[in-house]
Amino acid sequence: MDLELSETQKLIQQTARDFATKELKPGAFEREDKGIYPFEELKKMAELGLMGVNIPEKFGGVEAGVVAYSLAMMEIARACASTAVSMAVTNMAAEIINHFGNEEQKQQHIPKITSGEYPAAAFALTEPHCGSDATALRTTARKTDRGWVLNGTKQFITSGEHAGVTICWARTSGQGAKGISTFLVPKGTPGLSYGPEERKMGLMASNTVSMIFEDAQLPNEALLGDENLGFSVSMVALDGGRIGVGSQAIGIAQSALDEAIFYAKERTSFGKLLAEHQAIQWMIADSATELDAAKLLVLRAANLKENGKPFTREASMAKLFATEAANRICARAVQIHGGYGYIKEYPVERYYRDCRVTTIYEGTSEIQRMVIARSLLRG
């Protein structure tokens, strides 16, 4: 793996960094505090190409690849993790349509995602009774003369209410992984409604809702990929999504470490700076080392995906390590701040909360371990 970034990768990283520093970070506290969805910010990010980093130019993407996408995600998450998760799911949805869609489906939705005409796109696999055990989903899609009729409920859908299109999984026959199909559900679909916004521990400026399908009507063309073979679509999507969440965790942790270092060089105790105490130095050293290791794992997975090589196991390893390391790094940053780390005015309080979900969504740490172990033990 070449550790030197290409000119394109540097450009995307710098573009995301400039935007994050100048436009995203200043309003992050207020958006979080008041639960304001970043409509304006996401639109500007689309104009900068950040809603289609790994999407072909002919659909409005910047075709910069997976490593560039990961680098951009780290930068956005450094400033605002809520905006980062909205960006992550939107890019993932665009990639799924690009990978599995027919030309008409691609033309219909991808340019609207990459241009920001759709404020976001969403991914609806989880249901109230099943998250990790995704093949146990109960939402049904029944074929009719005019298309499909969907019934069921999807839970914890990021940007669900604002998404121009949601990629949704439903049972079309059989049991288990077989007989699940993938559908493109546009906003405004008759029979689709949304539950109230979830009140979460963190990521307050992101939108998380349930999606309720009551005889929701979809045309024949809503089917994405092959009928009954949709479960693999979700798995392929999540393999890539896990690189995004690992990158997001790295961005949050980087900010937490920066704040911890800044504070350690300002605050004194026992007659010297915190930074001069070995106990603090070791925490900072551990955090920096784990952060670098996380970056290397995430970039390796991104590099494999970019080069068309198998990357399922490496994406799970990257997500597992990066998100767990990020939680440790954020916890240490709070610890270094002492009582102030528990106070809202200090950003580490937010990083600690925002980071928590990264070991849960897009596959818990336990699921990542399952994927890693299965791939090692299979052969």
Note whether 274 binds ligand CAA by CB under 6 A: no
Are 341 and 349 in contact by the 8 Å Cβ rule? The answer is yes
Note whether 125 binds ligand CAA by CB under 6 A: yes
Structure tokens that stand for 282 in this block: 């070791």
* Stretch of 128-136, 144-152, 219-227, 346-354 contacting ligand CAA, by CB under 6 A: 128-136
Task: Please list every residue from 278 through 317 that binds ligand CAA, using CB under 6 A.
Answer: 312
Residue closer to ligand CAA by CB (options 148, 169) is 169
> Where do we find the tokens 């400039």?
18
CB of 100 to ligand CAA, least distance (A): 12
How many residues form the binding site for ligand CAA (CB under 6 A)? 24
CB of 93 to ligand CAA, least distance (A): 10
* Stretch of 8-16, 50-58, 63-71, 131-139 contacting ligand CAA, by CB under 6 A: 131-139
Residue closer to ligand CAA by CB (options 9, 358) is 358
Build a one-symbol-per-residue string for 347-366: x at contacts with ligand CAA by CB under 6 A, - elsewhere.
Answer: --------------xxx---
Are 153 and 213 in contact by the 8 Å Cβ rule? The answer is yes
Residue closer to ligand CAA by CB (options 116, 363) is 363
Residue closer to ligand CAA by CB (options 9, 158) is 158
CB of 313 to ligand CAA, least distance (A): 9
CB of 90 to ligand CAA, least distance (A): 11
With CB under 6 A as the contact rule, the residue among 90, 126, 139, 155 that binds ligand CAA is 126
Residue of 87, 168, 166, 88 lying closest to 122 (CA atoms): 166
Considering 75, 161, 290, 362, which one is annotated as catalytic?
A: 362
* Rounded-to-integer distance, Cα 103 and Cα 228, Å: 20
Residue closer to ligand CAA by CB (options 132, 269) is 132
Q: Is 47 a catalytic residue?
A: no
SS3 annotation, the chain = CCCCCCHHHHHHHHHHHHHHHHHHHHHHHHHHHHCCCCHHHHHHHHHCCCCCCCCCHHHCCCCCCHHHHHHHHHHHHHHCHHHHHHHHHHHHHHHHHHHHCCHHHHHHHHHHHHCCCCCEEEEECCECCECCCHHHCCCEEEECCCEEEEEEEEEEEECCCCEEEEEEEEECCCCCCCCEEEEEEECCCCCEEECCCCCCCCCCCCCEEEEEEEEEEEEHHHEECCCCEHHHHHHHHHHHHHHHHHHHHHHHHHHHHHHHHHHHCCCEECCEEHHHCHHHHHHHHHHHHHHHHHHHHHHHHHHHHHCCCCCHHHHHHHHHHHHHHHHHHHHHHHHHHHHHHHCCCCHHHHHHHHHHHHHCCCCCHHHHHHHHHHHHHHC
Task: Please list every residue from 162 through 221 that binds ligand CAA, using CB under 6 A.
Answer: 177
Build a one-symbol-per-residue string for 51-90: x at contacts with ligand CAA by CB under 6 A, - elsewhere.
Answer: ----------------------------------x---x-
Note whether 11 binds ligand CAA by CB under 6 A: no
Task: Please list every residue from 137 through 166 that binds ligand CAA, using CB under 6 A.
Answer: 158
Task: Please list every residue from 225 through 264 that binds ligand CAA, using CB under 6 A.
Answer: 231-232, 235-236, 238-239
Binding site for ligand CAA (CB under 6 A): 85, 89, 123, 125-126, 131-132, 134-135, 158, 177, 231-232, 235-236, 238-239, 312, 361-363, 367, 370-371
Residues labelled as active-site residues: 362
